[in-house]
Amino acid sequence: MSEKPVINEPEVSNGNNVVVYGTRWCAATQYVRRFLDRNNVEHDFRDIDRDKEAADQVRWWTGGYLSHPTVKIISDILVEPLSNEIQQSLEKNNLI
Residue ranges covered by each domain of the chain: 18-89
> What pLDDT digit, counting tens, does each position of 27-67 carry?
999 999 999 999 999 999 999 999 999 999 999 999 999 99
Q: Which of 44, 68, 43 is nearest to 55 (CA)?
A: 68
Distance CA 64, CA 31 (A): 24
DSSP letter for 8, please: -
pLDDT attached to residue 14:
55
Q: What is the pLDDT of residue 76?
A: 96
Inter-helix orientation angle 83-92/27-38, to 10°: 40
The CATH code for residues 18-89 is 3.40.30.10
Angle made by CA atoms 17, 50, 85, in degrees to the nearest 5 = 35
Burial group, residue 68, by CB count within 10 angstroms (0-12, 13-18, 19+): buried
Q: Global pTM? A: 0.84
